[in-house]
Structure 1
Amino acid sequence: MVVVERVGPAHWARARAIRLRALRDAPDAFWSTIEQEAALDDAVWRQRLERREAVTLIGLVDDADVGMAVGAPHHAQPTDAGLYAMWVAPSARGRGVGEALISAVVDWACAAGHPRLRLDVADANPHAVGLYERMGFAPTGVTYRFPPPRDHIVEHERALDLRS
């Protein structure tokens, strides 16, 4: 069974551990690098989890942390919500963890009054693209290129209308 937990500052070590696992597993799926995130001190991790306008979620299977997602105001349009740091461990993929995390972020975004939920995904990640399509996210036509030296990676924005 999949369980999704909202974590706060007291759980900073769990959030840090799963974030670093995600960056090791899929370094080209995230703007941030493992070197950048590993260098952050404990206070920064706590501060991230103290943000009242955001939610950090960890997905569990058999009491093991196997996924994460963050919901926060969208970086370019703060009235919309953004889905960030989405990741599921390879051993847990296909078990409903991604769907459960996305559903929890959708619930948070609706409760916070956001009209849309946006995310960015690289076309080179067909499994994630498929998951987002199944969950109702549609392309917006907006693209982002990673900063050098990873500027060969292009992400495409997708959005889900929450008003219906």
Structure 2
Amino acid sequence: MVQIRKADENDWALVQQVRLRSLREDDDVFGASLAREEMFKESHWRMRLRSSPTWIALDDDGAVRGCVSMIQEPGSPADDRHVVALWVAPEVRRRGVGWALLDVVREAAQAEGARTVSLWLEDSNHGAVDLSVRAGFTRTSERHQLTRDPSRVEERYVRTLT
């Protein structure tokens, strides 16, 4: 069983652990670099947690099995909240963890008065596309090339909140 809880600044080491693991195991789906984030000091991780609500998925033994953060993406409407750094450990995928992480973002966005939640997905990330569509996100046809690899393209997906 996995429990989802909001991380606070004192959870910085857990967030660091899951973030670095996500970059080690699935570096091709994130815009960030493992080498760069390995250099971040405690103060950087704490600052991230102060500036972006982040949730972690913990199993019964306290091991972190997933994470997600929410931001107000620059250039997006003020009533949109954006999903970033969504990741689920391979050993617990397809067991509802990703769904639960998206649910907490939706609930937090609604509590802030947001009208929509959005995320960017690379076309080849079939698992994430499947999860997002099943969770109520729809394609927008807003697309762009990845900075790190212009041969790859992402599309923006949006879920309207009620």
TM class by smaller structure: over 0.9
In structure 2, stretches of 5+ residues that fail to align are: none
User: Residue 4 of structure 2 corresponds to which residue in structure 1?
Assistant: 4
* Letter of the structure 2 residue corresponding to residue 46 of structure 1: R
When normalised by structure 2's length, the TM-score is 0.94
User: Which deviates further from its counterpart, 57-66 or 19-28?
Assistant: 57-66
TM superposition outliers: structure 1 runs of 4+ over 6 Å: none
Mapped to 2, the partners of 1:26 and 1:96 lie a distance apart of 19
Q: CA deviation at 1:43?
A: 0.8
Q: CA deviation at 1:35?
A: 1.2
Mapped to 2, the partners of 1:44 and 1:146 lie a distance apart of 25
When normalised by structure 1's length, the TM-score is 0.93
* Letter of the structure 2 residue corresponding to residue 74 of structure 1: E
Alignment of 1:1-164 (within 5 A): 1-51=1-51, 54-62=52-60, 63-79=62-78, 80-148=80-148, 150-162=149-161, 164=162
Q: Secondary structure at the match of 1:74?
A: coil
Mapped to 2, the partners of 1:38 and 1:76 lie a distance apart of 28
Mapped to 1, the partners of 2:74 and 2:23 lie a distance apart of 20
Instruction: Count matched residues.
Output: 160
Q: CA deviation at 1:78?
A: 4.9
In structure 1, stretches of 5+ residues that fail to align are: none
Q: Is the 8 A contact 1:75 1:82 kept in 2?
A: no
Percentage identity across paired residues of the two chains: 33
Q: Secondary structure at the match of 1:44?
A: helix
Mapped to 2, the partners of 1:105 and 1:78 lie a distance apart of 17
Name the Cα RMSD after superposition: 1.2
Q: Secondary structure at the match of 1:26?
A: helix
Q: CA deviation at 1:107?
A: 0.3
Q: CA deviation at 1:9?
A: 1.1
Mapped to 2, the partners of 1:76 and 1:142 lie a distance apart of 14
Q: CA deviation at 1:33?
A: 1.0
